[in-house]
A and B are shown apart, each in its own frame.
Chain A
Amino acid sequence: MSEAAVIPNVTTPEWELPSRGVVGMVCLIVAEAAIFTIFVVAYLYYVGKDRSGPTPREVLDLPIFTSVCLLSSSLTVHFAVAALHQARRGLCSLWLAATVLLGGIFLGGTAHEWYKLIVHDGLTIQTNLFGTTFYSLVGLHASHVIIGLIMLSLALIFSLNGSMTAKHTGRLEVLSLYWHFVDAVWVVVFTVVYILGR
């Protein structure tokens, strides 16, 4: 059954392959992007097809401040990775905390917006096609923000208690890739929902 196996062996000069964490995350991003695409298509397909209100123009306000917060958190997470790379752990914790804070502000903004829409404007997911597509698209994005925030908070805790060191830079970078993706999706959602859709 197990005769000695033959193994070819040819010496090859330096053999470097990409990091599997980065490749895995890129794959995940492609798959997630496809999911978001379908939700965006549904939003655009149904925009303006409602027979009853409220309409986007009546109830949506531009969430400029929270969007700026979310987008700038891409920068702060980048600085966190750079700080960890230089083994400056305190600085890394600081930037991670800033990222979590900015992401939290964004999420609070969304919560506030939904509260206003549901309580004051009477728009729920059941009201009309706008409600259906708006809550599902923005909610899908918000759930990605929540997942990202949980992971960033974990990274912050590990950074604070000293178990995350410079040799974990690669992993934090994979997480930052995910966070950049969440931000990039927001650019699309913002354009579609708050600019084109209004």
Chain B
Amino acid sequence: MAADAPVPAETAQTATTHSAPRRLVLDILNDWVTTVDHKKIGLMYIGYALVFLVVAGIQALLMRIQLSLPNNDFVSPQAFNSLFTMHGTTMVFFVGMPILFGFGNYLVPLMIGARDMAFPRLNAFSFWISAFGGILLYFSYFGASGLYGAGSAPDVGWFAYAPLTARVFSPGHSTDYWTLAILLSGIGSIGTALNIVATTICMRCPGMKLSRMPLLVWLYLVTSSLVFVAVSPLTAAQIMLMLDRYIGSHFFDTQAGGSAVLWMHFFWIFGHPEVYILILPAFAFANEIIPVFSRKAIFGYAAMVAASVGIGFISLSVWAHHMFTVGLGAGANTFFVLATMIISVPTGIKLFNWLATLWGGKIHFTASMMFAIGFLFQFLIAGLTGVMLSIAPFDWQLGNSYFVVAHFHYVLVGGILFMIFSAFYYWFPKMSGKMLSEKLGKWHFWIFLIGFHLTFDFMHVPGMLGMPRRIYTYEADRGWMIWNMIISSGAIFQAAGTLLFVYNMIWSYFKGPVAGPDPWDAWTLEWSTPSPPPAYNFAEIPSVASRRPLWDLKHPEDPDSNYE
């Protein structure tokens, strides 16, 4: 401020002490907002996803409170519709996608020995455009006022079936906020996916052949490729929906001959591969974590790669299993039943490979490994109910019931979220330089495990008793109350476990033991850097001769390169 005229020492000192902290905060803020460093962008993705995880988790809790008793009026029917719409949309687009892209952003360049992503500025753009999408979605609570007069969040369900989204049936702007938010998130996802593919193909360090890439990087390559062919159709469908709503075209306008079923096709052409876009990164974490804590190299590397690519392709041809109740005809139904069942083959191969990796290993039961093992069992069960639902006649009975809700939450929570927790315990030391508390981590695991099973095991039952999804309440004589009570009580355990996890992260960040570069005695390149890694990652670009470069380094007498 007073740089031009000389100031007395005293004044200068007070001026410094007053302005210094503020400038520091602004500096830090400026640093993060303008950064193009893949690690910082990765961390921002993760932080942003965690905030939305808490928000969408609270929405789930509100719904569970409403449903815990029959004829409850804790929330209004209108609010309930918004709650399940926002919960689903947030969890898929603003928790699942960003948290997985966050880990991908952080880990992929480190694991292939690169200093950054292929397109750092595109990376920052993709993050901020997705972040803006999430904010736009939540701004609908204030800004969506239309013919109803008051602001209201989207309430058309996360798959927003036509013609519910048409102007006549959805006046006001809530659906506009929904479609714009999805469109922006889609653009961000495509940008990041493009970046990950280009990074994987073009930025590998010398010696890092495709056949030597860590499986995590392979899985991210497959996931990102899927994003191009799965998220783009959704983007196209959102453009159509916007044209319908803004300038009166007739894509999904049934009164002018448009088709509501076409929207369902377009949505699920995205929607089903999206499940695999979310689960493949979870597989990716398992592929790194399970071998390290079993002290063995992964079993069946080539089979794992082949299975991942196979899943990627097959997942593109199964979407209509979400539409059996529409009545597509016997031919189409049969095709989609069989295609859906076939996808369990490569998935089964993966499960067997993980089991074979554990077999005979010297297993270390860290918190990370416990979550990974929980994932194995729960993902198996989720897959089995998936095979049940893939049978069209079975689906006619239970489609749109709580059985379906239980099935996909088993995948998303029991599979993906467990593996995300596992990844946090594994990579938090790398990202922060501090270890997470193992003791709190194990408490977190057991509390969350109990909560998960209370909620989602028992959720299958009211589904089989005929309870449809998305109802805001039910009559007392239905016999669903006891089950809903148990389900809701499980939600409390899950919330408690998550709080413990958040507390663990904050406490450990400040007070946790220093991690050092390689706390797990692991084998991939990210552990060769200091924790946290410097901005340039590697002072000298490494070169590798096998899939486990750090093993080679630690065991020069018996390097992997002799066997591959």
Contacts and interface: CB of A to CB of B under 8 A. Distances in A.
A2 B202 CA distance: 29
B251 A132 contact: yes
Interface stretch (B382-390, B393-401, B489-497, B538-546): B538-546
A58 interface: no
Interface in B191-235: 193-195, 197-199, 201-204, 206-207, 225, 227-229, 231-233, 235
Contacts of A75: none
Interface stretch (B10-18, B132-140, B236-244): B236-244
B201 A7 contact: no
Contacts of A32: 232
B258 A129 contact: yes
Contacts of A37: 233
Q: How large is the interface on A (under 10, 10 to 19, 20 to 34, 35 or more residues)?
A: 35 or more
Given A1-B514, A20-B118, A10 B433 contact: no
Interface stretch (B53-61, B90-98, B548-556): B548-556
A34 interface: yes
Contacts of B201: 17-18, 20, 23
A49 B553 contact: no
Interface stretch (B289-297, B371-379, B503-511, B523-531): B523-531
Contact of A35 (B119, B232, B549): B232
Interface string A44-77: 0110011100000000000000000000000000
A11 interface: yes
B240 A20 contact: no
A23 B204 CA distance: 14
B266 A38 contact: yes
Given A35-B235, A45-B262, A132-B243, A8 B530 contact: no
B549 A8 contact: yes
A37 B270 CA distance: 13
A20 B528 contact: no
Interface in A1-23: 1-3, 5-12, 15, 17-20, 23
A9 B543 contact: yes
A1 B240 contact: no
Interface string A114-158: 000000000001101101110110001000000000000000000
Interface in B257-271: 257-259, 262, 266, 269
A20 B231 CA distance: 22
A2 B530 CA distance: 5
A18 B202 contact: yes
Nearest to B200: A23
B248 interface: yes
A185 to B, nearest CB: 13
Interface string A19-40: 1100110011011101111110
B28 interface: no
B243 A125 contact: yes
A11 B528 CA distance: 18
A27 B228 contact: yes
A68 B530 CA distance: 59
A34 B543 contact: no
A6 B517 CA distance: 9
B144 to A, nearest CB: 25
A31 B248 CA distance: 27
Interface residues of B, number: 63
A105 interface: no
Contacts of B190: 31
Nearest to A45: B262
B171 to A, nearest CB: 19
Contact of A34 (B206, B229, B239): B229
Given A20-B202, A27-B193, A125 B247 contact: yes
Contacts of B466: none
A12 B243 contact: no
B233 A38 contact: yes
A20 B194 CA distance: 10
A42 interface: yes
A9 B556 CA distance: 12
Contact of B236 (A5, A11, A35): A35
Nearest to B230: A34
B194 A6 contact: no
A36 B518 CA distance: 47
B228 A9 contact: no
A6 B553 contact: yes
B528 A8 contact: yes
A125 B249 contact: yes
A48 B92 CA distance: 37
A71 B249 CA distance: 30
Interface string A63-103: 00000000000000000000000000000000000000000
Contacts of B528: 5-8
B236 A39 contact: yes
Nearest to B232: A34
A1 B433 CA distance: 6
A23 B197 contact: yes
Contacts of B199: 20
B202 to A, nearest CB: 4
27 contacts: A2-B531, A5-B517, A5-B529, A8-B552, A9-B540, A9-B543, A10-B545, A10-B561, A23-B198, A27-B194, A27-B198, A30-B228, A31-B229, A34-B229, A34-B232, A36-B236, A46-B259, A49-B257, A125-B243, A126-B249, A128-B250, A129-B256, A129-B257, A132-B243, A133-B251, A136-B239, A140-B239
Given A3-B530, A23-B198, A23-B202, 10 more contacts: A1-B531, A5-B538, A6-B553, A12-B543, A30-B225, A30-B228, A31-B194, A42-B251, A46-B259, A125-B247
